Structure 1
């Protein structure tokens, strides 16, 4: 499992650098917040846009895979939302973020490298379909619910209008819409602006991880243990099990693609999870959950990969 450690170790290293830099006041908390805003406003939208336009949508479409993975993700999202909202009395925004933390993977930076080690080329196909599900379904759903939670004190009509305005002005939603239009119409993005998009996209992961480290400075674990356990176990255990179940209900012929889908679900949540939480004042909780899930994922990945190996899948 040294290969898994080789993938996750740089993540912890960058998080550690961000923590030390902020702890020693080489960089201020205000600067960390500004870096987070850069990721959510520019780098992440560029990453989403790039993911959607890299290949025509009709080139990668395995119906049962998309339906099964989306069904499993929605099932865990709903479960996480109900647990947070009904059983733990969390806010609407907090419940939405807990739900997406349990159901949306870091497919590009952790899921894909590990899946590629296990199943090879099938991992690229799974990544392409996963990007569609995550960016066209899971992230917009979470943002819509979280934004709605910010306007609960308003009347129903005013809340709907305010939420819609915030969503339509959200850089991530704008990037999703633009990327979808380009992909559906088969348009070609000129090389120079596409290169700029790629440069911004490449900065999203390291800057987001640095911000996570900075966000951990001064954070108190008290009151977060239950949140971290719920989100981490939901993401690392329930999500992959749900994907396995849905692949039984909606069979995917290629066994390598089935394994890839489960391994993508095994990944911890997206690296910009705390950056999304920052918008709603929940960056501390999200950062703690991300760090906890990333640490635990080494164990859960080892278990699932060992199971696949023993079952000869």
Structure 2
């Protein structure tokens, strides 16, 4: 290979790495701030729960409502792509629950949380910023697919499994009543239903309320990441390496691999859309993962897995983007 060509290739690799670092760098900074705040005793560990409650009960529901309410979802989503991404996510979640319940002999709640780490990507906070320079305007349209799968299928399903796991061995009717009651009161589920209803009925909410929702939604990512850092400050990862490794392998490798294999059965699908689906499956898990897991006593392993996966994803995403660029599946957009 000529020296000039080798230099150009190396420069291209470095450019891709710096592009991704510019996107994920702020994530690490916010996590480090939360970690430092607790380690320096500016914030007590017990006070972190309030931050988690704020995100899960107010900021995150606002984000979900904002993402779903203004768009006619049916007009934006390719049914084949939706089916493939949904099936891949369900298969990964089933694998996670199966490993936990039948191999590790643990409960359904732990299985549901492990499955969430393996099958639900950080599509909004990491996936979209990475996809926009690669796919242009199509990245925002593709986000609708991920939101439907993650917010309207995977999240309610895994929360239901977790609630069933915490209902003991009572009668089936009582278990179902507990599950339905908890889901109905869950702010995230309420926000999803309200967002879909507004989209279906073309309801425009008043401007003051819309701005308030937008302000809350904007707060969800930084507060969630700050909370994660604070949780890590008092976390001992001893004995967690096995579970962290399973979650990382499932999220960064398994999820994308299953999406890729399923897409092979859809030759008519736009290659750029296929690339976008695989790339989104490569993303680390949602930043709310430890906050959701908090309710089920799994916030420690969830926070550790999130940080480890987010750090490792810098390398895995860089590799996937490089392969896609090499094969002409993605390009840089303004």
1:214 lines up with 2:246 in the alignment: no
Contact kept in structure 2, 1:275 and 1:283, CA below 8 Å: yes
1:16 lines up with 2:36 in the alignment: no
Deviation (angstroms), 1:187: 1.4
Structure 1 residue corresponding to 2:61, chosen from 9, 23, 45 = 45
Contact kept in structure 1, 2:251 and 2:284, CA below 8 Å: yes
Contact kept in structure 2, 1:102 and 1:231, CA below 8 Å: yes
Structure 1 residue corresponding to 2:290, chosen from 263, 269, 274 = 274
- 2:10 maps to none
Give me the whole-angstrom Cα distance separating, in 1, the residues matched to 2:222 and 2:298. Answer: 20
Give me the whole-angstrom Cα distance separating, in 2, the residues matched to 1:116 and 1:32. Answer: 33
* SS at 1:277 equivalent: helix
Contact kept in structure 2, 1:43 and 1:201, CA below 8 Å: yes
- 2:200 maps to 184
Deviation (angstroms), 1:157: 2.1
Contact kept in structure 1, 2:121 and 2:283, CA below 8 Å: yes
Deviation (angstroms), 1:160: 1.6
Q: For residues 160-175 of structure 1, what are the structure 2 equivalents within 5 Å?
A: 160-175=176-191
Structure 2 residue corresponding to 1:90, chosen from 106, 115, 126 = 106
Structure 2 residue corresponding to 1:70, chosen from 86, 94, 97 = 86
Higher mean alpha-carbon deviation, 242-251 vs 141-150, is at: 242-251
Give me the whole-angstrom Cα distance separating, in 1, the residues matched to 2:170 and 2:187. Answer: 24
Structure number with bigger Rg: 2
* SS at 1:216 equivalent: helix
- 1:198 maps to 214
State the TM-score, normalizing by the size of structure 2.
0.91
Deviation (angstroms), 1:30: 2.3
Contact kept in structure 2, 1:122 and 1:260, CA below 8 Å: no
Give me the whole-angstrom Cα distance separating, in 2, the residues matched to 1:271 and 1:252. Answer: 34
Q: For residues 277-292 of structure 1, what are the structure 2 equivalents within 5 Å?
A: 277-292=293-308
Give me the whole-angstrom Cα distance separating, in 1, the residues matched to 2:267 and 2:113. Answer: 30
Structure 2 regions of 5+ residues with no counterpart? 1-16, 330-334
Give me the whole-angstrom Cα distance separating, in 2, the residues matched to 1:249 and 1:191. Answer: 45
Deviation (angstroms), 1:141: 0.6
Contact kept in structure 2, 1:252 and 1:258, CA below 8 Å: no
**Cα offsets for 1:77-129 (capped at 9, x unmatched):** 11111111111122111100110110110001111111222222221121121
Give me the whole-angstrom Cα distance separating, in 2, the residues matched to 1:15 and 1:247. Answer: 35
**Cα offsets for 1:227-274 (capped at 9, x unmatched):** 111111100101111111121123453222111111111110000100
Contact kept in structure 1, 2:119 and 2:251, CA below 8 Å: yes
What is the total number of aligned residue pairs between the two structures?
A: 313
State the TM-score, normalizing by the size of structure 1.
0.97
Identify if the C-alpha distance between structure 1 residues 43 and 252 changes in structure 2 by more than 3 Å, giving closer, same or farther: farther
Give me the whole-angstrom Cα distance separating, in 2, the residues matched to 1:182 and 1:251. Answer: 35
Deviation (angstroms), 1:164: 1.3
**Cα offsets for 1:58-92 (capped at 9, x unmatched):** 33021111111111111111111111111112211
1:80 lines up with 2:73 in the alignment: no
Two-structure CA RMSD over aligned residues (Å): 1.2
Contact kept in structure 2, 1:105 and 1:268, CA below 8 Å: yes
Structure 2 residue corresponding to 1:125, chosen from 117, 124, 141 = 141
Identify if the C-alpha distance between structure 1 residues 252 and 6 changes in structure 2 by more than 3 Å, giving closer, same or farther: farther
Contact kept in structure 1, 2:77 and 2:142, CA below 8 Å: no
Contact kept in structure 1, 2:60 and 2:220, CA below 8 Å: yes
Q: For residues 83-162 of structure 1, what are the structure 2 equivalents within 5 Å?
A: 83-162=99-178
**Cα offsets for 1:198-217 (capped at 9, x unmatched):** 11011000000000011012
Contact kept in structure 1, 2:69 and 2:197, CA below 8 Å: no
Give me the whole-angstrom Cα distance separating, in 2, the residues matched to 1:249 and 1:78. Answer: 21
Give me the whole-angstrom Cα distance separating, in 1, the residues matched to 2:35 and 2:165. Answer: 30
Structure 1 regions of 5+ residues with no counterpart? none
